[in-house]
Amino acid sequence: MINWAIGRELITKSPFFHKTRNPTGIRLLRGENKRRRRIYPEQEKALLDACEVLKSAAHDHVGTVMKGRIGAAIDLGLRRGEMLKVRNRDIDWRERPDPVLTIRWGNAKSRKERQVPLTSARVVRFLKSRRLVGGAEGYPFGSPTGEYIQNFRKAWETLLKEADITDPDRSLDGDLHWHDLRHECGSRYADRGMDGRHIQMLLGHSDLKTTERYLNSDTKRLAEAMKRVHGGGA
């Protein structure tokens, strides 16, 4: 009822609020809380360069795996949870023209199995380097030794700090979430003209409307597309 009233501008905020999570009491309506965070080449490079720092013993040698995770998130749109549950046996290297990764139904949020063509050269290089780590049952996106892990929050926070994106000690907040990498995947394919239903298949969404919320239009590319329609004129 509160949301109904807000939607009709009868009230401006919800009386139910949390002092830290929602101090204003304002409840955003569906669609209003869509994140529009994009990851541009220079910031992606900063993240990948920071992975080199995490290759040291002081960081448990997680740099190489973090670089592989970033590539898989941006190029394949894998969710963090399903990525961590991928095993080496889930990759069919015999498929042509490209190897295929199978996301098992039990590991997918939608509970539907899907196949992801491995067309990303950097992801293929990473997965090939991990084929023998842990054997067929090894987890290529897991620990450096191929074991399953539930999350990599500490490594991600360290990476953001090394990349000068987010560092609480310096009051630096670049507002970059891991899930933004998956959004970036869909947005990049949309920028390049991929059909929305193909993006839906890649991201594993049951509903095309969910996919549409992931596609953050790049204003610069939007302007370029508009200019093409207008023949390049003002």
105-113 long-range contacts (CB < 8 A, ≥24 apart) are 107/81, 107/82, 108/82, 108/204, 109/79, 109/81, 109/82, 109/204, 110/204, 110/205, 110/206, 112/204, 112/206
Confidence of residue 112 (pLDDT cuts 50, 70, 90): confident
How many angstroms separate the CA atoms of 220 and 1, rounded? 40
pTM over 0.85: no
* Domain boundaries of the chain, sorted by first residue: 1-33, 38-234
Tell the CATH superfamily of the 38-234 domain. Answer: Intergrase catalytic core (1.10.443.10)
202-213 pLDDT, tens digit per residue, is 988 877 776 776
Confidence of residue 109 (pLDDT cuts 50, 70, 90): confident
- What was the pLDDT predicted at 10? 67
Specify the higher pLDDT residue, 28 or 81.
81
Q: What mean pLDDT is predicted for residues 114-138?
A: 96
